[in-house]
Amino acid sequence: MHYLNNLWAALDFGSLWDMLLRLAAVLLCLTVHETCHGLAAYALGDPTAKREHRLSLNPLHHIDWFGLAAMLLVGFGWAKPVPVDMRYFKKPKQGMAITALAGPVSNLLLAVLLLFISRLVLEHYADTALCSGALDFLLMTAYMSIGLGLFNLIPISPLDGSKVLFAFLPDRAYMTLMRYEKYGMAVLFVLVWLGVGDNILSEGIYQVYSLLINLIVLR
């Protein structure tokens, strides 16, 4: 019993709580991102995501557990891709581009919503015990959501930005690149591991976050 008491006393509950908050933030950002991919495809006529139960805000429908662990541990991860069948789109390339763009846009809109809530918390609950914890979570999640949105706009396959860029290519070149899309993940892993573009991306995330903070929270 004495050993168990010592073990219990040694647990760092502050770090555990921080990890749980980070997990909640990651799940929220990824779930909104993937759900909006599915909603955009469905709005354009593709029922695949609906049929696969991906039009859901239940994180369990979207989470890839290896990708989630990677995002928590190293800041780079992924969710299960939303299935999209471009044959349902009247204009396949444009439909894929809109569907892809819906994810990053949803993350930016989520960040805006969270910052508006942060402003309300500051205005009405600044003197309460919950204010600090709530603000920490809201601001952290907003920053993470901006980061996820901007990262996915990078035009490297299989990120969303590549599908937007590919939409401007001739049909033959588009289909060729789409066939080789699966190899893009390996390239992306190498670039992330080497830290290529880290400073530019980090600065971009910080600048967008700072701009929204000044426009929404500190106005």
Length, in residues, of the chain: 219
pLDDT band of 58, cuts 50, 70, 90: very high
**Confidence at residue 218, expressed as pLDDT on a 0 to 100 scale:** 87
Whether 50 maps to a domain, the answer reads yes
* Structural domain for 19, as ranges: 12-217
Give the count of beta carbons closer than 10 Å to the beta carbon of residue 13: 8
Instruction: Please state the rounded mean pLDDT for residues 21-27.
Output: 89
Whether 1 maps to a domain, the answer reads no
Whether 3 maps to a domain, the answer reads no
pTM: 0.86
Whether 6 maps to a domain, the answer reads no
Whether 11 has a pLDDT exceeding 60, the answer reads: no
Catalytic site includes residue 34: yes
Whether 20 maps to a domain, the answer reads yes
Whether 157 maps to a domain, the answer reads yes
Whether 60 maps to a domain, the answer reads yes
Q: What is the dihedral of CA 155, 149, 109, 97, to 10 degrees?
A: 30
Stronger pLDDT, 190 or 159, i.e. the higher one: 159
**Confidence at residue 49, expressed as pLDDT on a 0 to 100 scale:** 95
Collect contacts of 14-23 with beta carbons under 8 A, ≥24 apart: 19/72, 21/136, 21/137, 21/140, 22/72, 22/140, 23/72
Taking only Cα atoms into account, the Rg of the chain, rounded to an integer number of angstroms, comes to 20
Instruction: Please state the rounded mean pLDDT for residues 194-214.
Output: 89
Q: Active site residue: 34, 52, 181, 203, which one?
A: 34
Q: How far apart are CA 99 and CA 158, in angstroms?
A: 13
Whether 7 maps to a domain, the answer reads no
Whether 1 has a pLDDT exceeding 60, the answer reads: no
Say how many domains are in the chain: 1
Average pLDDT across the chain, whole number = 85
